[in-house]
Structure 1
Amino acid sequence: MSKGAYLFLALFPLISLMPIPPPTYENVQKAKQEQRKRKEDSGDDPTNEDE
């Protein structure tokens, strides 16, 4: 095997030890708040969404 392959195999397990940052849902939260606000402004009752 080439030296590059050994290097890759040596470093690959180290990559898995690094924590992956959690995804940010700031835009989703803003969109949900705007949607609730629109429902309230239109007169719909947001508590009865399943009916």
Structure 2
Amino acid sequence: MASGLGSPSPCSAGSEEEDMDALVNNSLPPPHPENEEDPDEDLSEAETPKL
């Protein structure tokens, strides 16, 4: 998997993967399809967790 990125060493690949993951995670929350569909539901769930 990491080799596909084109990184020479596994350590470098891990670092790159972590960076990419962080970027993706930071860019994912805002444009969430579920949030856009039912923002009220998300807020309700966050306010009153049913766990």
Q: Using structure 2 for the length normalisation, give the TM-score.
A: 0.31
Q: Using structure 1 for the length normalisation, give the TM-score.
A: 0.31
Which fold has the larger relative contact order, with Cα–Cα distance below 8 Å and residues 6 or more apart in sequence? 2
Which structure has the bigger radius of gyration?
A: 1
